[in-house]
Amino acid sequence: MARHKRGRGGATKKDTRDSNKGGWYVNSPADKNNSAFDEYYQNQGMVPEDEWEAFKACLQSDLPTTFRVTGSRAHAEAINDLIKSTHVPSTSNVELDGVKYPPPMQIPWYPGHLAWQISAPKRVIRKSEPFKKFQRFLVGETEVGNLSRQEAVSMIPPLLLDVESHHICLDMCAAPGSKTAQIIEALNPHHTFSTGMLIANDSDYKRTHMLVHQTGRLPSKGLIVTNLDAAQFPTIKLSNGQPLLFDRILADVPCSGDGTLRKNLEIWSKWGAADANSLHSLQLRILLRAMNLLRPGGRLVYSTCSFNPVEDEAVVAAALNSKPGFSLLDVSTHLPGLRRRAGVSSWKVATQPESGGRKMVWYDNYDSYREAVEAGKERDKDVKKGLPRSVWPPNNVKDLNLERCLRLLPHDQDTGGFFVCVLQKADKPQASTLENEDSVLPDVLPIEANVADGSGSTSLKRARSPVVEEPEAKRGKADPLSAESTVPAVTTGVVMSSEGHDPRKGKKEKRDLGFREDPYSYVKADHEEIGTLIDWFKLKETFSRGNLMVRNEYGDPLRTLYLTNDIVKEVLENNDYTRLRIVSAGVKAFVRQDSQTRPEVVCKWRVPSEGIGEVVPHMNEEEVRDMGLEDLKVLLEEQYPPVERFSPITQTLVNDLPLGNIIVRFKSGSLPDGAHLPMDLISPMWRAKTSLSLLIDKREKSTLSLRTWGEDICKPGPPLKNGAPREEEVAVEVDKTRSAEVDDVRGVVDVKPTLADEGS
Ligand SMILES: C[S@@+](CC[C@H](N)C(=O)[O-])C[C@H]1O[C@@H](n2cnc3c(N)ncnc32)[C@H](O)[C@@H]1O
């Protein structure tokens, strides 16, 4: 693959000049320049000539920080109001070295004005006290899931997906999960019980744990995280034997990422035409698989953070031509206030062959490219494998309504660059739907003849042998383009024997023995432990006691009980979890409090803070105990305050309570010391023999304190004695449970998003 030489830690000017034989200077990231990039996009014409300077200048400038107030929380509005009433005024008159900087501004096109942009540069944020305070607020609220740092343009695809609470959704390339979070929010709007599901998938195992981490801030009983190649996403079976089809699919595919040049500076030096060319096939295979998995009438959003038509319109055009019954949806009236450019219907294709000194070579069409390949002007391996015909505009390109695609150019609204479009599947099932899809050739064999024959026909033949360049780095072990790589149906389930023997079929199904996650099984609804916690928390009939799941083969409630909804249960019970490569499912609803071995503790389970939203709505109202803001102060100031430290009302209340986990509500209000709790707060608390403690971790406590008192009033807890927690040290147990989550993920502890991922 023709590429610019890449320095290990970022190429220096000298390095790159030395490596440059044909006059293609690759600059250091600091230069924010790449002449190949300029030539390529100036030739594409999608940035009008008279806007080139503005486009380029914007790309070379720093990207503003943007974030969203998460929408599924009842208190999203309260948090938004807090920003408006406290932080906007406090940052309104910031001046540094004679320059005035604006306060955070609401992004005009984001629904409910729940998204914000900070234009002040990082240097100013670091130096100015009001911005520093705002930054601390942002970090804390992001940790607890009230805010999500995300690039503005990256917020668009989930908004166009139009998710409702009953939808069955698939996020095919989901990590690190900023769009996944938006889909979860849309599935769980304020105060409604969602019956929908989201499968968030990524082919990179480590990155699926970023997803688990990210979605842990927005717990949902309708969530499954999987680790599969999206282009071969398996057919999921339902209990009636039918395949599961999705109402909504997001294909936010891997891409060359030149739309992120403002924050991923290393792309300046690495950029080359070959990257987009090599990604085209994978992107197309992912999109085609998504189309097969969509239900008739369903909606599919395809997006990239690349400007390149080869990764954008070319993929969409080839997909539309290959699958009848799909059309591009006109979303021009959606998201008013968002400045967007129409998708293009003509584009050019270039390569940068090494033999030509990496000079850009333009090909008008597939045939001229093949001639060059045969004449030895391109790479030797291109004789067998090279660019597919689908990277060029098809002859019927004008019939495809590609202008309905959206391209976001940075200088329009001071954002990153992005491409997005919405595909709608016709209501009536078409010939190539899921039922027969598994038996046909893999989706992206290069597409022959008809597209380029001028007929304008949407029917396509498959070529006999693949002529598709596949990015080596992205390719899995099995070549997905080979005829053997049909998409496997997942038919064995957790109900079957561990050997994967399917009694219905009388044949053995292969399991993925290399997949090292623990199994999933449901605890019997009449299990004694379930009965104990139903009695203890006074859970009503509305609580689905049959939907508590554990991570062991036998359904034993040993350490953690996860709650799922019915559709997730159906998927888990009818499909082999190793074939689906399920990394996590549901929400952590109950955790065993093992240090509490006293006989007086009737129920040894507690609700972790992530389970509160799913458990509390099913409790009898009187089981949620009210406490005052002054009690909250005591609980934050001390880790295990003795009962005598609390208000007389609270002392009377707890004296009547047995030992164990109780759920408390602190009413919104104010204190004479200036504290203000803007919304009711429901939290798990442990009633020990002589003390009380909040069952939330230190970071959550600090954030709560910052929000309510404007400062961190939490004091550090006492050190452990020989590692053994005392009865009062329950809060330490809370943190230990978090490390147990790391055990669950089997050694994958590197879950921090990289710079490139942030807000992608
Ligand atoms: C652009 S990022 C997705 C960003 C994500 N949607 C978000 O909003 O946070 C592309 C992701 O695709 C994943 N990926 C690459 N090849 C894939 C494949 N064949 N199947 C599924 N995921 C893939 C990468 O690991 C990467 O996490």
- Burial string for 305-317 (b: 16+ CB within 10 Å, else e) reads bbbbbbbbbbbbb
Distance 68 CA to ligand 1 centre (A): 21
Angle, helices 205-215 vs 178-187, to 10°: value is: 40
**Which ligand 1 atom lies nearest to the CA of residue 253?**
10
Residue 230 CB neighbour total at 10 angstroms: 25
Answer for the pair 407, 307: CB distance below 8 angstroms, yes or no.
Answer: yes
pLDDT at 585 over 50: yes
Phi, psi dihedrals of residue 268, rounded to the nearest 5°: -55, -45
pLDDT of residue 11: 30
How far is 496 from 474, CA to CA, in rounded Å?
34
Q: What percent of the chain has pLDDT over 90?
A: 60
CA distance 624 to 683: 9
Angle at 26 between CA 22 and CA 31, to 5 degrees: 145
- What's the confidence (pLDDT) of residue 80? 92
For the segment 595-612, the average pLDDT, to the nearest whole number, is 83
Q: Is the pLDDT of residue 243 over 70?
A: yes
In contact, 158 and 302? CB cutoff 8 Å: no
When pLDDT is cut at 50, 70 and 90, the band that residue 509 belongs to is low
CA-175 nearest atom, ligand 1: 27
Comparing 311 with 501, which gets the higher pLDDT?
Answer: 311
The closest residue, in CA terms, to atom 2 on ligand 1 is 254
Question: For position 151, what pLDDT does the model report?
Answer: 96
Alpha-carbon distance 85 to 186, whole Å? 26
Residue 87 is classified by DSSP as I
Question: Who wins on pLDDT, 168 or 487?
Answer: 168
- Quote the crossing angle between the two packed helices 698-709 and 629-637, to the nearest 10°: 130
Is the interface score ipTM higher than 0.90?
yes
What is the residue whose two structure tokens read 């503003």?
64
Q: Rounded to an integer, what distance in angstroms lies between the CA atom of residue 15 and that of residue 8?
A: 11
**Contacts made by residues 354-359, CB under 8 angstroms, sequence distance 24+:** 354/2, 354/379, 356/22, 357/21, 357/22, 357/23, 357/24, 358/2, 358/4, 358/20, 358/21, 358/22, 358/24, 358/36, 358/272, 359/22, 359/23, 359/24
The pLDDT of residue 321: 97
Q: How far apart are CA 462 and CA 74, in angstroms?
A: 51
Strand pairing report for 582-585 and 605-606: unpaired
Mutate to test the pocket of ligand 1, among 154, 161, 202, 286 (most ligand atoms within 8 A of CB): 202
Q: So what's the pLDDT on residue 501? A: 37
Q: What is the pLDDT of residue 47?
A: 96
Is 45 annotated as belonging to a binding site?
Answer: no
Distance 246 CA to ligand 1 centre (A): 19
Decide: 369 and 140 in contact? Cβ < 8 Å: no
CA distances for 151 relative to 79, 390, 756, angstroms: 19, 30, 11
* 357 pLDDT higher than 90: no
Distance CA 709, CA 240 (A): 55
Q: What confidence score (pLDDT) does residue 57 get?
A: 96
By C-alpha distance, which of 237, 212, 207, 240 is closest to 224? 212
Peptide bond into 176 cis (omega under 30): yes
Among 187-201, 313-327, 386-400, the range scoring the smallest mean pLDDT is 187-201
Note the pLDDT tens digit of each residue in 433-478.
444 443 332 333 333 222 222 222 222 232 222 222 333 333 333 2
Q: Residue 497 above 50 pLDDT?
A: no
**Percentage of the chain lying above the pLDDT 70 cut:** 78
Q: Which two tokens stand for residue 288?
A: 């085609």
176 is in an annotated binding site: yes
State yes or no: 585 annotated in a binding site: no
pLDDT in tens, 294-315: 999 999 999 999 999 999 999 9
385 compared with 204, residue with greater pLDDT: 204
| 482 compared with 566, residue with greater pLDDT | 566
Read off the amino acid at residue 728: E
For ligand 1, whether the C-beta of 367 sits within 6 Å is no
Q: Is residue 163 scored above 90 in pLDDT? A: yes
Q: If you take atom 13 of ligand 1, which residue's CA is the nearest one? A: 173
What is the distance in A from the centroid of ligand 1 to the CA of 175?
6
Q: Give the mean pLDDT of 518-534.
A: 95
Q: How long a stretch of residues is the chain?
A: 760
pTM of the shown model: 0.83
The residue-averaged pLDDT of 13-34 equals: 46
pLDDT band for position 747 (50/70/90)? Answer: very low
177 known ligand binder = yes
Residue type at 89 in one-letter notation:
P
Q: What's the pLDDT at 150?
A: 95
**Is 178 marked within a binding site?**
yes
What is the spatial distance between Cα 321 and Cα 451, in angstroms, rounded to a whole number?
A: 8
What does DSSP say about strands 197-201 and 168-171: parallel, antiparallel, or unpaired?
Answer: parallel
Mean pLDDT within 121-148? 87
678 lines ligand 1 (CB under 6 A): no
Q: In terms of C-beta density within 10 A (0-12 exposed, 13-18 middle, 19 or more buried), how is residue 628 classed?
A: middle
User: How does pLDDT run across 378-429, given as a tens digit for each residue?
Assistant: 988 999 889 999 999 999 999 999 999 999 999 999 999 999 999 999 997 6
Which residues lie below 8 Å from residue 339, measured CB to CB, with a gap of 6+? Answer: 408, 412, 413
**Ligand 1 closest atom vs CA 157:** 8
175 lines ligand 1 (CB under 6 A): yes
Query: Which residues sit opposite 626 in a β-bridge?
Result: 665
**Beta pairing partners, 462:** 447
Q: Of 155-164, 205-214, 310-319, which gets the smallest average pLDDT?
A: 205-214
In this predicted structure, the answer to whether residue 345 has a pLDDT above a threshold of 60 is: yes
Q: Which of 68, 70, 66 is nearest to 185 (CA)?
A: 70
- Annotated catalytic residues are 305
Instruction: Quote the ligand 1 centre to 275 CA distance (angstroms).
Output: 16
What is the structure's pLDDT at 597? 59
**Burial code of 338-350, b = ≥16 C-beta within 10 A, e = fewer?**
bebbebbbebbbb
pLDDT of residue 455: 28
CA-proximal residue: ligand 1, atom 10 (nearest)? 254
Ligand 1 pocket residue status of 258, Cβ below 6 Å:
no
Annotate 574-608 with DSSP letters as a single string. Answer: HS-TTTTTEEEESEEEEEE-TT---TT----EE--
Beta strands in 130-222 (DSSP E): 147-149, 168-171, 197-201
Chain mean pLDDT for the chain: 81
Which of the four pLDDT bands, split at 50, 70 and 90, describes residue 145? confident
What pLDDT score does 513 carry? 73
